[in-house]
Every structure is written in structure tokens, then in C-alpha cells.
Amino acid sequence: MSTRHYPSNRIVCAVFLAILVTLVAMIFLLPSENLSLGSGELLDLNEGWTVETEDRVIREASLPLELNLPPQTPYRASRPLPPDFPDQSALRIRASMQDLRILLNGQEVFSAAKPSSNLLTAPDASVWHLVDLPAGSAGKLLTLELRSPAPAFSGTINPVYAGSGVLLLTDILKTRGPVLLTSLLLVFFGALMVVISFFLKNMPDRRVLYLGMVSILVGLWIFTESRMTQLFTGNRFLVGGLAYSLLPLIPIPFILFMTSGVLVRRYRSLNALAVAFPASFFLNIFLQVTSLVPLMISIRFTLLLMVLTVILLIVFLVREARQDENKQAGKMLFYLGVLALFLFVEIAGFFFEQYDSTSLFARTGLIIFLALVSRETIRQANHMLLVRQETELLKVLAFRDIVTGGGNRAAFEKHMDQLMCPGAAPFRLILMDINDLKMINDRFGHQAGDEAIRICSRLIGEAFGASSSCFRLGGDEFACTTPVTGEDQYLVSCRKLESALREESGRLAYPLSLAMGSGVYVPGMSPDPGEFFHRTDRLMYEHKRRMKMA
């Protein structure tokens, strides 16, 4: 057989490094024009605004601006467009849960308000608006009229930019692209973990599955908070309500993960807590669609529930780590402490209406937490699989004979219990003994004796066929069971075995023969198993005595 030669690790690494250097060199050394879509600069329109409310006027204001007005208070901001404002330009402005009208010289060019119906209320949504301005807009007075039902956003005026539609969109992708990539990686990683969990049948718990579900939900939540949902869908609920709806869902698989992998003894308390989050989910949806409570208000109860859950988990982990010396709980306590720090900062910002960094701290904390927990979970899962594989191997070895590779006495006894149960079919038991094995060991060595044992085991199996089950009981003793109970067929197999033994003896330095005895067992009719085995064993020794006298 030819030996395969594989390249060394150094050679493989050197080749890949050379490829990478070549690609980088092509990027920076080859001449190229700017081929990116939406190349150019955005026109910044955030200076020189006149802002009017019901009781005051602010001149030369800069955007973004916060006026802190009561909900549903109308306000407006105006400024002239530059004299050289290019035709075929569009405006980009983000309406933070606001109705918006855009006017040029008092003429409406765009209007957006939350739709309503008699039965259901659509969620308030913070959305991008790209508004194509008519030709000849240069020098005209641009006016924004806004109104918001949300206390947090009533009085907010976000930055305004102008440019081509492609440029305005690609600018969003450039600024929010890393967040989108992060969310996609988390969803992919979570989906991979879920798929892998279905193949880990030997895992004693479902921590890999639950961790994958947490990663998927976190990834989707980060995506919905990335302000890029509108690039893929125009559905108001997906744009404005999905992020808040996902929040009470994330803790559910997280709690199940904790009870499955770490806080196993606390599963009753934590599972009861886990039920509160689906209830919070449906309550938030109900309050939103019925207009009873705005989502921005009802979601605060979910956030408080999340805080209480984190605190409770920390208390449980501290007890497990101190009282029970649970090292795994100690590690998880550190990981959860890191997450709690980021979450508390995020939630505090939400309650104090600091929305500019919405999801930034939570996103950072969740990514760090998932990275730490995933590393630990993969390590533990690998250890569990190795232990389970070793256990399964020991189970196999417990019923396997080391010399022949076939079944041993323990396997034979288990097999006999199955054959002798009430209602089982009749079978023939053949007991065999290698003649003069001690002489072979003494004169030719134990390697020759082991060779004789292996040869006899192979020939016994070949003689009595695939339907038989053969075992080495120990030393020079073998047992074989077969469903063939007819005497004539049994004698044909015996002659076949004797012929094969004589043929093997001609190639060996020692003679090889077997003494045999057999009997047919019929469940419910034959003597008790112990007596049946004794009779068959006696027949084998009688045959052995006759062979020595011959």
C-alpha cells in the first residue's frame, strides 16, 4: 500500500499568505476609477433653520434639535434651499414616530401620517423618508411640519440631507452596514447551532438548541434596531413594531438555556418566570393594536421584568457558586455580570429617553455575552460528547472479547436471557472447547494460543452461518446459538467445521480441533436454563473424552 504524503502546515500557511498578499497588492496597486454606487457628497441642510412652535420662534437653529413639546403639538422648521441646489435631488429625513409634511414655498410636496382603522391601530414607527423634489427647487423655502403622539419624540427634528436617491441609500448602508453584518452573523451562527443540536443526540440536555435560539432572536432584534429594515420591507409593523415585539421573546430560550445547562435545580422557579415573557409579548401586542397604551409605555414593563430576571439569575448563580461550589455557575455569573452591566446602562438610557444610542449598549453586551457563553458551551458540549463516547465504548467493550473481537461471556448471558424468555422460538446451543490449548501455549507461546483462538472463532462462525451467534466464554471455551434445530443440518455444519479445522491444521505448526456438545432448547418445555446448559456442557466433555481416547 502506498503512503500518502501531505504538505506541511508551514507550506499550506505560506501559500495562503502569498495568495492574500497578492490580492491586497491588486487592490492597492492596480489603477482604478471610483466605481462605487452613489459616489459623491451629500448636501448638508442642517444649518440656518427657523423653528416655530405655538408660543415661540427659534432662529438660526441647527439640526438635530430637541424641543421637548407635549404630545400631538404641531411644530415646523423652515429654511431656504441653496441657490445652486441641483435639480433631480431628493431629501432624506428620519421621522421618529412622527407625522410629516414637506412644503416648498407653502406648496405640499410630501405627506406621511400613521394609518388608522376602526378596529386596529398600527404601531408608531420611526422611518426614513426619501422625497424627490421637483425641478426648479433651488432658492425656494423648504418647510417641515411635524407632530408626534410619543412624548419622547414630540419636538424632535432629525438631520436633513439632500442628494441623489442612490447616494442617500448607500450612505445609510455605509453608516449602518456593520450593524447589519453583525445581525446576519448572529442569525447564521444561531441557525447553525440549532441545526447542529438535532445531530447531537448524545447530548444530555438542549443547551446548544437554546443558545442557538437566543442568538437568532438577538440577531433579528439587532437587525430591526439597525434602522435598515425599510431597505427590505415597507410593512409598518416590521419597520416599527417588530423590535419591541422581539424583546420579550429573547429571555425565553435564555432562561431555558440557564435551567438546562447551569441552574438545573432551579428549573421550576425559572420556568415559571419564563412563562411571564410570552404573557408580556401578547399583552404588549394587545395594548398596541387596541390603542389602550402606547407601545413605548407598555414595553417598559417588559424591560422591568427583564431587569428582575437578570437580578434573580445573579442571585441563583451566587448561591450555586458559593454554597454548592459550582464552577460552571461561577463562570456564568461573570458572563451574566458583564451582560447586566450593559443592559442596565441601556435600560437606564431608555427610561431617561436617551434614544440616540438605542440598542448600542444592549447590542454590545449581548454580543460579548454570546461570544463568551458560546465558547463555554461548545467546550462543554465537546467534553460531554467525549465522555458519552467513552461511556458507549466501555459499554461495547464490556460485551466484547479482547482476543476474538466477538462477544464474551457477559454478551452470551445477555443473549441467552433473550432467547429463553417466554414465547421465544426454539434454538440450538452448541458448546465447544479447543483441544490441547495449554500444550499450544506451552510449546509455541501465547501468541500462537491467541492465534488458535481467533482461527477457531472465525471457523465456528463460518460453519454455522450468518444466522448464528458465537461467543468466547473464556480460555478455550466457545458457545454458539443457531435457530437451525434440525439434527441433519447440525451435523452438516459440524462436518464443515471439522473439515475447515483439518485444513487449517495443515498450515499450522500444531494440530487444531474442537470438542462439541449441543442441545435444542424449547422455551416452556425444556428443563430450566441452568440444567439445560449443564447437560449440553456434559455432552461436550464426553465428546472431548472420546477424542482423547481415539
pLDDT digits (tens, 9 = 90+) for 269-325: 888 888 888 888 888 888 877 777 777 777 778 888 888 888 888 888 888 877 766
> Does the bond joining 278 to the residue before it have cis omega, within 30 degrees of 0?
no
251-261 and 295-323 are packed helices; what angle lies between their axes, rounded to 10 degrees?
10
At residue 481 the predicted structure's pLDDT band, cuts being 50, 70 and 90, is very high
Residues 381-394, mean pLDDT to the nearest whole number? 69
pLDDT digits (tens, 9 = 90+) for 17-71: 898 898 888 888 877 766 666 667 889 999 999 999 988 999 999 999 999 899 8
Spatial neighbors of 232 by CB under 8 A, at least 6 apart, are: none
Tell me the DSSP string of 180-240: HHHHHHHHHHHHHHHHHHHH-TT-SS-HHHHHHHHHHHHHHHHHHTTT-GGGT---HIIII
Q: What is the pLDDT of residue 61?
A: 93
Q: What residue has cell string 458583564?
A: 338
pLDDT(1) > 50: no
Classify residue 265 by its DSSP letter: G
Task: Specify the 3-state DSSP secondary structure of 343.
Answer: helix
Quote the strand ranges of 351-448, DSSP E: 427-434
Backbone angles phi, psi at 420, to 5 degrees: -100, 5
Q: What residue has cell string 438610557?
A: 349
pLDDT(357) > 60: no
Q: What does pTM read for this prediction?
A: 0.65
pLDDT(144) > 90: yes
At residue 349 the predicted structure's pLDDT band, cuts being 50, 70 and 90, is low
Q: What is the pLDDT of residue 140?
A: 93
pLDDT digits (tens, 9 = 90+) for 415-469: 888 888 877 888 999 999 999 889 999 998 989 999 999 999 999 999 988 888 9
Cα–Cα distance, 512 to 65 (Å, whole number): 101
pLDDT(406) > 80: yes
Residue 213's Cβ-count burial label (10 Å; 0-12, 13-18, 19+) is buried
- Length of the chain (residues): 550
Backbone angles phi, psi at 251, to 5 degrees: -65, -20
pLDDT(201) > 70: no
Share of the chain above pLDDT 70, in %: 89
Three-state DSSP string of 476-543: CEEEEEECCCCHHHHHHHHHHHHHHHHHHHCCCCCCCCEEEEEEEECCCCCCCHHHHHHHHHHHHHHH
Spatial neighbors of 57 by CB under 8 A, at least 6 apart, are: 50, 51
Q: Count the Cβ atoms, other than its own, within 10 Å of residue 352.
A: 8
